[in-house]
Structure 1
Amino acid sequence: MTRVFPEQLSAQLNHGLRRYYLLVGSDPLLHQESQYSILAAARLQSFGEHHSFSIDQHTDWDLLFSECQSMSLFSQRQVFILQLAENGPNAAQATQLAQLISLIHEDLLLIIHAPKITKAQENSAWYKALIEGGLLVTCHTPDHQQLPRWVQQRCRAMSLSIDDPSLRLLCYYYEGNLLALSQALERLSLLWPDGVLTLPRVEEAVYDAAVFTPYHWIDALLAGKSKRALHVLQQLQLEDQEPIILLRTLQREVMILLDVQSRPIDARRAAMDKLRVWQNRRQLYTGALQRLDRMRLRQIVHHLTSLEIAVKKDFSAECWPALNALSVLICQPQFPTGLYHV
């Protein structure tokens, strides 16, 4: 199955429609805009109707199969839009889905939305049935390294000129929240009809709406980026993230670092394989191990334990300053002996 990014979809559609489109990822804006592009291209090919279905325990499969087979001489061509559940279809649903895909013909077009596709699903009959004649659109939210490129492309498409300070500010404020970022750019285009975005202009119209998970914080700590770690932590606090989740997540990562650090350098790759460290995160671990020796890692474990005890004693509010202080200290090249205590 051919894979493309959302920004490449229009070029693919200009070469003609596929029979199946699989939109995979967790970003609602990219799903929405990709679907809109497909439907717009489909309308030009006389697909005048579209029907949406959620694939779950309440799906009326008889209705779906009936719709597939009810085409008449006077019917319009139709688009079926299916939304898969977070964990994908179960065994029974997968069987029905494979049967449905086999019924799609030239007057039907199928769009499937999926939050993710697992290895097991890639081996399923319904997924394999999509390979021939299908297009996979990856709708994953760009990470902080990819986001500037996405914003620049968006600005070009909107005939906006943006300088580097403005670009950095938008990425800082809206990371993980493409919908809010898109709305901010629309607002800026209305405020400044000349299309020139400078830092003073952008500062007037934007606010911090970044969306993060604990793993964004962890990655910033591993990379030694203290400013980013503090920004992520601030947003997690505003979103009422439970401190205990942050503590447990960091504890788990530190234990992995301790395990890998205890191995000879030539055995660390095998250790990461055993610990199931993702390939795209291994460089972060390697960099962290160059900065954090065994003594420092054990100190971090000690202070995390103290923080967890404090949280369990209902000192959660006091825990946030301690997490901020610990974040800065973990990112420093040298680890001071006196840490902030709750």
Structure 2
Amino acid sequence: MIKISADQITTKLGSPYYLIIGNDPYLQHYAQTQLKTSFKQLGFNEQLTFNIDNQTDWSTIFDSCQEMNLFSDNTLIFLDFGEGSINANITTKLNTLSEMLTAEIVLIISLNKITKANENAQWYKRLSDKLVVVSCNTPDEMQLPKWVTNHLQQKQMQIEPQAIELLCYYYEGNLLALTQIIEQLKLLFPNQTITYDQIENNINDSAIFTPYHWIDAMVSHKTKRATHIMQQLKMNEFEPLILLRVIQRELILLINLKKGLSTKSFKQIFDEYKIWQNKRPMYTAYLNRFDIKDLFNTLNQLTEIEISFKHDSQLQIWDALSALTLQFMGIK
């Protein structure tokens, strides 16, 4: 089995089995398009797409395999799970399908995520020797600059380092818009190193964030980033009450962690609450910076905002959320 990122897919063309995993629509589309085009050039002109859910008629898929075996046509089968997952019933069907594959059949499976149970299934083990797993998860804040740099190299473009930071700031979480603006910049400024000012005059704030990006920015004490995320959530008309509920859960977690530290080590308390390893440094720093009284004060402020908003829908809720964001980070 080989594991690669989507931007490496052109280096691993020709394998009979591909598993495209991830929820980024741009990367999914890119990986699928590259594979379908490549196999068409290799003579796999028959390309069958099946959208997989609990109502899928698998007999049609099995019949297609048997017909291919009979006529020896090179055929690509693409199984698109969309937002769905692989349950026990579908696992049984995939087990059967994996037994029917021949050298004339290429199998591509597109899936949001894969579980340990999936990896232990017969079909996965049967394909694993020749399987290429393509990661299509959206690059995070730390990964994005390198992704942009690689993409620019593929486009044979030169952009000032500070300008790359600017692109990442305004297009994080939105690779489709990011690649479109890069293409536009290439047309506007051909055969030259593109400057910070040139990019600044041609971009829009198109970053896409979730409430969990907001939480991580606040816990990490990244004031500028937390404020930027708040602005984008407001612009995208995210429901304020959901944000209040998300930050409430986070504050309760932090209070419980802080209480636990009175008798346990950081490792013990993080293990107990199943804090991911990569998030432990930022939680450690936050808990060292604030005492439990600060956390309760922020929680009380959140409660007051929620009560006020429920009694007065005209309340300037986004102003209140901005103030709460700063209080969470200890900024008065």
Question: Aligning the two structures, in what range does the TM-score lie when normalised by the shorter sequence?
Answer: over 0.9
Residue of structure 2 equivalent to 1:11: 11
Shift of 1:72: 6.2
Separation (CA, whole Å) in 1 of partners of 2:297 and 2:69: 73
Separation (CA, whole Å) in 1 of partners of 2:328 and 2:130: 50
Residues 75 and 227 of structure 1, relative CA distance in 2, 3 Å threshold: same
Shift of 1:44: 3.6
Which of 280, 303, 307 pairs up with 2:278? 280
Residues 161 and 210 of structure 1, relative CA distance in 2, 3 Å threshold: same
Separation (CA, whole Å) in 2 of partners of 1:202 and 1:79: 41
Separation (CA, whole Å) in 2 of partners of 1:268 and 1:117: 31
Q: Using the TM superposition, name which of 270-279 and 234-243 deviates more.
A: 270-279
Residues 206 and 88 of structure 1, relative CA distance in 2, 3 Å threshold: same
Separation (CA, whole Å) in 2 of partners of 1:216 and 1:195: 35
Give 5+ residue unaligned stretches, structure 1.
337-342
Shift of 1:331: 2.4
Q: Using the TM superposition, name which of 55-64 and 37-46 deviates more.
A: 37-46
Which of 52, 57, 60 pairs up with 2:57? 60
Residue of structure 1 equivalent to 2:123: 126
Structure 2 residue 251 is matched with structure 1 residue 245: no
Residue of structure 1 equivalent to 2:207: 210
- When the two structures are aligned, how many residues end up with a matched partner? 331
Residues 252 and 35 of structure 1, relative CA distance in 2, 3 Å threshold: same
SS in 1 for 2:304: helix
Shift of 1:325: 1.6
Residue of structure 2 equivalent to 1:313: 311
Shift of 1:147: 0.5
SS in 2 for 1:53: strand
Residues 159 and 129 of structure 1, relative CA distance in 2, 3 Å threshold: same
Residue of structure 1 equivalent to 2:328: 330
Q: How far does the alpha carbon of each residue in 1:234-292 deviate from its partner, in whole angstroms, 9 at most, with x for none?
A: 11111111111111111111111111112337522222222222222222211211222
Separation (CA, whole Å) in 2 of partners of 1:114 and 1:37: 17
Residues 185 and 317 of structure 1, relative CA distance in 2, 3 Å threshold: farther
Separation (CA, whole Å) in 2 of partners of 1:104 and 1:41: 20
For the Cα contact (< 8 Å) 1:243–1:311, is it kept in 2? no
For the Cα contact (< 8 Å) 1:19–1:110, is it kept in 2? yes
Structure 2 residue 104 is matched with structure 1 residue 70: no
Which of 219, 223, 235 pairs up with 1:226? 223
The CA RMSD over aligned residues, in Å, is 1.9
The alignment's TM-score, normalised by the length of structure 1, stands at: 0.91
Residues 262 and 72 of structure 1, relative CA distance in 2, 3 Å threshold: closer
SS in 2 for 1:62: helix
Q: Using the TM superposition, name which of 214-223 and 25-34 deviates more.
A: 25-34
Q: How far does the alpha carbon of each residue in 1:4-54 deviate from its partner, in whole angstroms, 9 at most, with x for none?
A: 1112222222xxx22210010011111111122222332343212211111
Give 5+ residue unaligned stretches, structure 2.
none
Separation (CA, whole Å) in 2 of partners of 1:191 and 1:137: 33
Separation (CA, whole Å) in 1 of partners of 2:293 and 2:203: 43
The alignment's TM-score, normalised by the length of structure 2, stands at: 0.94
Q: Using the TM superposition, name which of 141-150 and 303-312 deviates more.
A: 303-312
Structure 2 residue 184 is matched with structure 1 residue 184: no
**Percent identity (aligned):** 39
Q: Using the TM superposition, name which of 123-132 and 211-220 deviates more.
A: 123-132
The amino acid across from 2:265 in the alignment is A
